[in-house]
């Protein structure tokens, strides 16, 4: 499938055969099952309950999308509506039955969640990776397909390089994506763990986390240099580079001459930096 996700969910839905209109059918909620490839893994029960109250009043306004698996129907898009309908006590829900390849199913599920902004940062990153794996796409091709900037996709994928414990806290909303970017800029494992614990226990803002990440980077780099103190202008510029590039940056030199050291952690990360720097 070569259509861009950014163009909307309707662009991904195959037309009904022979020009027929798309048929909406009522399906028994008990014969419908979730999709194991659904990008969204966490469902807020309070939000589901609120939707259930609305559905109990006016019904399911937008049909869910399913594939016919023979013994059951598998949800491609609309699991939240299905969960809420069950909670509201409905026996059937409106649905559109479609035949999708696995790649197409992943694409449709991903775009629906992206359009609704339903995914947390880790879910979004995992969905991008799954689509890349299923479709054998490069980051450039994926960015074009989902209608995002390549740097946006690259930054999302970088989150999957963080330790599982940190990813779990991002997924649960305990740590924001801004905090995560600060953690990614710390290359030393022990220093990153220290900052992670501070974020968890110290109620540190994103701005404070960025400053601490910068400080940790400077402490490490000072072991390799003469230890001369930087002018405040250089420190301020270093912080600007780190915030812009989302990685560790060290400026060696003075106000007249020097060099900039930028860390990268993979070929994809290097390409991300190249794009940010105007490549």
Q: Does some domain include residue 142?
A: no
Same domain membership, residue 175 and residue 63: no
What's the pTM value of the predicted model, to 2 decimals? 0.55
Report how far residue 155's alpha carbon sits from residue 245's, in angstroms, rounded to the nearest whole number.
10
Query: By the 8 A CB rule, do 138 and 54 touch?
Result: no
Q: Residue 180's CB: how many other CB atoms inside 10 A?
A: 26
> 116, 139, 164 — which closes off a domain?
116
> 116, 148, 166 — which closes off a domain?
116
Per-residue tokens: 177: 């994506």
Same domain membership, residue 205 and residue 93: no
Least Cα distance to 140 among 245, 272, 278 occurs for 272
> Taking the C-alpha atoms of 83, 86, 91 and 95 in order, what is their torsion angle to the nearest 10 degrees?
-10
Same domain membership, residue 103 and residue 12: yes
CATH of the domain at 35: 3.90.1530.30
Same domain membership, residue 253 and residue 178: yes
Taking the chain (279 residues) in runs of 10, the rounded mean pLDDT of each run is: 42 44 84 80 80 90 89 88 92 90 74 67 84 80 81 85 89 86 84 89 83 72 53 82 82 84 80 80
Q: Does some domain include residue 210?
A: yes
Q: Does some domain include residue 123?
A: no
Same domain membership, residue 191 and residue 81: no
What is the CA angle 182-183-185, rounded to 5?
70
CATH of the domain at 188: 1.10.10
Name beta bridge partners: 250: 261
Q: Residue 225 gets which letter from DSSP?
A: S
Number of domains in the chain: 2
Q: Does some domain include residue 197?
A: yes
- Helix 139-146 vs helix 150-158: angle between axes, to the nearest 10 degrees? 110
Report how far residue 205's alpha carbon sits from residue 7's, in angstroms, rounded to the nearest whole number.
36
Query: By the 8 A CB rule, do 121 and 156 touch?
Result: yes
Print the domain residue range for 178. Answer: 156-276
**C-alpha atoms less than 13 angstroms from C-alpha of 187 in its C-beta half-sphere:** 15
Same domain membership, residue 91 and residue 13: yes
Q: Residue 7's CB: how many other CB atoms inside 10 A?
A: 12
Query: By the 8 A CB rule, do 42 and 172 touch?
Result: yes
pLDDT at 17: 43
pLDDT at 19: 44
Q: Does some domain include residue 140?
A: no
Per-residue 3-state assignment (H helix, E strand, C coil) for 136-176? CCCHHHHHHHHCCCHHHHHHHHHHHHCCHHHHHHHHCCCCC
Same domain membership, residue 103 and residue 28: yes
Same domain membership, residue 63 and residue 171: no
Same domain membership, residue 110 and residue 33: yes
Q: Does some domain include residue 143?
A: no
Same domain membership, residue 165 and residue 75: no
Same domain membership, residue 260 and residue 197: yes
Q: Does some domain include residue 121?
A: no
> 87, 116, 145 — which closes off a domain?
116
Same domain membership, residue 97 and residue 167: no
Q: Does some domain include residue 148?
A: no
pLDDT at 124: 84
Would you call 172 a catalytic residue per the annotation?
Answer: no
Residue among 21, 33, 46, 79 flagged as catalytic? 79
């Amino acid at each position: 499938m070569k259509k861009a996700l950014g163009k909307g969910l309707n662009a991904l839905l195959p037309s009904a055969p022979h020009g027929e209109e798309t048929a909406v059918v009522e399906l028994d909620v008990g014969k419908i099952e979730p999709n194991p490839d659904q990008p969204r893994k966490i469902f807020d029960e309070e939000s589901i309950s609120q939707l259930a109250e609305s559905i109990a009043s006016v019904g399911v306004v937008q049909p869910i999308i399913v594939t016919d698996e023979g013994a059951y129907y598998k949800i491609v898009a609309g699991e939240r509506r299905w969960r809420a309908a069950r909670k509201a006590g409905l026996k059937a829900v409106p649905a559109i039955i479609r035949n999708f390849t696995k790649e197409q199913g992943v694409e449709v599920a991903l775009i629906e969640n992206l359009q609704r902004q339903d995914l947390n940062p880790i879910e979004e990153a995992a969905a991008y990776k799954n689509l890349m794996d299923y479709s054998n796409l490069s980051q450039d091709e994926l960015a074009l397909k989902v209608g995002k900037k390549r740097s946006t996709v690259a930054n999302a994928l970088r989150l999957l390089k963080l330790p599982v414990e940190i990813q779990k806290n991002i997924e649960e909303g305990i740590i924001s994506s801004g905090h995560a970017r600060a953690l990614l800029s710390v290359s030393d494992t022990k220093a990153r763990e220290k900052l992670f614990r501070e974020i968890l226990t110290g109620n540190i803002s994103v701005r404070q986390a960025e400053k601490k990440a910068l400080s940790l980077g400077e402490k490490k780099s000072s072991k390799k240099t003469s230890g001369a103190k930087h002018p405040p202008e250089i420190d301020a510029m270093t912080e600007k580079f780190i915030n812009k590039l989302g990685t560790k940056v060290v400026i060696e030199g003075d106000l007249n001459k020097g060099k900039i050291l930028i860390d990268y952690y993979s070929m994809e990360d290097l390409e991300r930096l190249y794009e940010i720097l105007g490549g």
